[in-house]
């Protein structure tokens, strides 16, 4: 049985050693009656005949942002990041899901889009989108993380917002067809071991994926969070490779080729390989290890009040379910288990909370995810000890936020 919020309030108050009631006494009282706002006296905007709803104009600051870390000043092979500091719960809204493209965003007409399956199969096939939509659909929540997430902070604390440190992460419900069903239609040859997936964008993005993973849980999806994919997310069809690096989730999917060996495409050799200190590199590092991030407080979500304070964030693991998330207020000297609220699904984001009484002291906030395989998210130094600092990809080290007495939050590293 999960603890209720109320019992957590009590516990938090006890942990901090202060009485919650004391803080409440300080509120001032107003004498005048509450004003009747104009919105309560007049009708609002009329309902448009048709329209696609957009967020309140007071939420205009909530937006994806390109990184510009490397100031490459070209926006085709580029990325934009999710404002995790504004995300509530575990679902990233469709307009805020991070982007990574290698040749811009194509606009593909689903009426003419084709998906081809060929290579080591009994019967090569062509599917239309109409064909694909006739299959019974499956809908699954999965996180999607670029293995380059947190790359700017490999060597040292360098990014000043959580959007920049961790915004190549998004979580969504994906709807589509298991790729295994489509492969069964074509009939996989007994010697086939790998599948090449290709996109219809200007980079003709290709990745090789082991057949056993494809047969296990890889999906061809056409919808995210209840509506058809956005163009920047691969409309009309993309791959979902649960728990594995985002680069493999081929967008604008147009071709599957079965073979007996991987293709060693550019995106699985020259890129998305992890260079170690000794000059050799790891390849085929598909799985995204367990990771977590406190999104509030964070640099764009500073603390504005003393007293009862909710620390909250996201945790995920490419190896399965998140089993536990620990939170430290003192830079990793002492830890306590956070509360996981809501769904805790396989290879999906979980939302965690840790309540405390903040009296204005400096805090060094950390979180660490532990997954069902027993993997514990490591400290950054522990990662660097094994991998060096040239890996670029797969930085899942523990993040530290310095909360200063004025409530402002900074990205720091600690000993």
Partner 1 sequence: MSKCRNAVLILFVLVAVTGTAFAGERKLGLGRAATPAEIAGWDIDVRPDGQGLPPGKGSVKAGEAVYMAKCAACHGEFGESAGRWPQVAGGQGSLKSDDPVKTVGSYFAHLSTVIDYVRHAMPFGDAQSLSNDELYAVVAYMLFLNDIVDEKFVLSRETFGAVKMPNAGGFHDDDRETTEKAFWNAKPCMTNCKPEAKITGRARVIDVTPDERKPPPGRD
Q: Which residues 18-57 are close enough to bind partner 1 by CB under 8 A?
A: none
Cα separation, 397 vs 289, in Å, equals 10
The residue written with tokens 């995204």 in the block is 288
Interaction with partner 1 in 103-142: which residues (CB under 8 A)? 103, 116-118, 123-127, 131-132, 134-136
Query: Is residue 193 near partner 1 by the rule CB under 8 A?
Result: no
Q: Is the peptide bond before 236 cis (omega within 30 degrees of 0)?
A: yes
Query: Is residue 145 near partner 1 by the rule CB under 8 A?
Result: no
Phi, psi dihedrals of residue 185, rounded to the nearest 5°: -60, -40
Q: Which of 45, 73, 304, 305 lies at the binding interface for partner 1 (CB under 8 A)?
A: 73
Q: Which of 14, 19, 69, 310 lies at the binding interface for partner 1 (CB under 8 A)?
A: 69
Interaction with partner 1 in 211-250: which residues (CB under 8 A)? none
> Whose Cβ is closer to partner 1: residue 225's or residue 298's?
298
Determine the longest span between alpha carbons in the chain, in angstroms. 81
Query: Is residue 411 near partner 1 by the rule CB under 8 A?
Result: yes
> Whose Cβ is closer to partner 1: residue 91's or residue 413's?
413
> ∠ CA(166), CA(347), CA(172), 5° rounding?
65
Which of these ranges, 1-9, 22-30, 264-272, 307-315, lies near partner 1 under the rule CB under 8 A? 264-272
Q: Which of 16, 275, 346, 372 lies at the binding interface for partner 1 (CB under 8 A)?
A: 275
Interaction with partner 1 in 86-105: which residues (CB under 8 A)? 102-103
Query: Is residue 181 near partner 1 by the rule CB under 8 A?
Result: yes
Phi, psi dihedrals of residue 164, rounded to the nearest 5°: -80, -35
Which of these ranges, 12-20, 91-99, 196-204, 309-317, lies near partner 1 under the rule CB under 8 A? 196-204
Query: Is residue 70 near partner 1 by the rule CB under 8 A?
Result: yes
Q: Please work out the total of residues on this chain that contact partner 1, with binding judged by CB under 8 A.
A: 101
Interaction with partner 1 in 277-296: which residues (CB under 8 A)? 277-287, 289
> Whose Cβ is closer to partner 1: residue 24's or residue 333's?
333
> Whose Cβ is closer to partner 1: residue 15's or residue 158's?
158
Q: Tell which phi-psi region holds residue 238, choosing left (phi > 0), alpha (psi between -120 and 50) or beta.
A: beta
> 318 with 289: CB under 8 angstroms?
yes
Give me the long-range contacts of 232-236 (CB less than 8 A, separation at least 24). Answer: 232/97, 232/99, 232/101, 232/105, 233/94, 233/97, 233/99, 234/199, 235/108, 235/110, 236/108, 236/110, 236/113, 236/129
Q: DSSP assignment, residue 3?
A: P
Shortest spacing between CB 154 and partner 1, in angstroms: 12
Q: Which of 4, 19, 55, 68 lies at the binding interface for partner 1 (CB under 8 A)?
A: 68
Q: Which of 300, 309, 356, 367 lies at the binding interface for partner 1 (CB under 8 A)?
A: 300
Cα separation, 280 vs 33, in Å, equals 72
The residue written with tokens 């009296």 in the block is 359
> Whose Cβ is closer to partner 1: residue 28's or residue 415's?
415
Cα separation, 292 vs 378, in Å, equals 11
> Whose Cβ is closer to partner 1: residue 139's or residue 203's?
203
Interaction with partner 1 in 310-369: which residues (CB under 8 A)? 326, 330-336, 364, 368
Q: Which of 234, 242, 243, 378 lies at the binding interface for partner 1 (CB under 8 A)?
A: 378
Shortest spacing between CB 262 and partner 1, in angstroms: 8
Query: Is residue 148 near partner 1 by the rule CB under 8 A?
Result: no
Burial class of 58 by CB neighbour count within 10 A (0 to 12, 13 to 18, 19+):
exposed
* Inter-CA distances, 50 with 46, 47, 53, Å: 11, 8, 10
Shortest spacing between CB 273 and partner 1, in angstroms: 6
> 329 with 356: CB under 8 angstroms?
yes
């Amino acid at each position: 049985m999960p603890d209720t919020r109320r019992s957590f309030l009590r516990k938090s108050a006890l942990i901090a050693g202060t009485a919650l009631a004391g803080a409440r006494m300080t509120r001032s009282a107003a004498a005048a009656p509450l004003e009747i706002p104009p919105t309560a006296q007049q009708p609002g905007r009329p309902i448009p005949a048709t329209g696609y709803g957009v967020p309140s104009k007071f939420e205009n600051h909530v937006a994806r942002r390109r990184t510009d870390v490397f100031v490459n000043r070209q926006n085709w092979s580029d990325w934009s990041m999710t404002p995790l500091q504004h995300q509530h719960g575990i679902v990233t809204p469709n307009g805020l899901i991070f982007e990574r493209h290698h040749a811009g965003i194509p606009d593909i007409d689903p009426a003419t889009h084709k998906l081809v399956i060929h290579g080591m199969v009994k019967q090569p096939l062509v599917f239309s989108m109409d064909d694909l939509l006739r299959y019974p659909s499956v809908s699954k929540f999965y996180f999607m993380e670029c293995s380059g997430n947190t790359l700017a902070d490999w060597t040292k604390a360098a990014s000043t917002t959580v959007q920049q440190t961790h915004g190549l992460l998004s979580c969504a419900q994906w709807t589509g067809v298991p790729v295994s069903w489509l492969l069964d239609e074509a009939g996989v040859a007994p010697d086939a071991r790998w599948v090449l997936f290709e996109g219809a964008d200007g980079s003709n993005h290709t990745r090789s994926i082991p057949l056993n993973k494809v047969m296990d849980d890889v999906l061809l999806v056409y919808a995210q969070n209840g509506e058809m994919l956005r163009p920047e997310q691969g409309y009309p069809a993309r791959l979902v490779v649960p728990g594995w690096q985002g680069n493999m989730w081929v967008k604008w999917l147009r071709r599957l080729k079965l073979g007996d060996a991987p293709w060693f495409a550019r995106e699985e050799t020259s890129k998305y390989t992890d260079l170690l200190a000794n000059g050799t590199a790891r390849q085929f590092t598909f799985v995204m290890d367990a990771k977590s991030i406190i999104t509030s407080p964070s640099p764009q979500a500073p603390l504005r009040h003393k007293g009862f304070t909710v620390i909250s964030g996201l945790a995920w693991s490419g190896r399965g379910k998140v089993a536990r998330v620990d939170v430290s207020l003192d830079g990793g000297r002492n830890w306590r288990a956070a509360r996981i609220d809501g769904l805790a699904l396989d290879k999906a984001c979980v939302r965690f909370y840790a309540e405390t009484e903040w009296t204005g002291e400096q805090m060094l906030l950390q979180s660490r995810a532990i997954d069902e395989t027993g993997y514990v998210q490591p400290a950054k130094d522990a990662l660097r000890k094994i991998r060096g600092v040239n890996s670029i990809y797969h930085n899942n080290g523990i993040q530290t936020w310095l909360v200063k007495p004025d409530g402002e939050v900074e990205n720091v590293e600690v000993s």
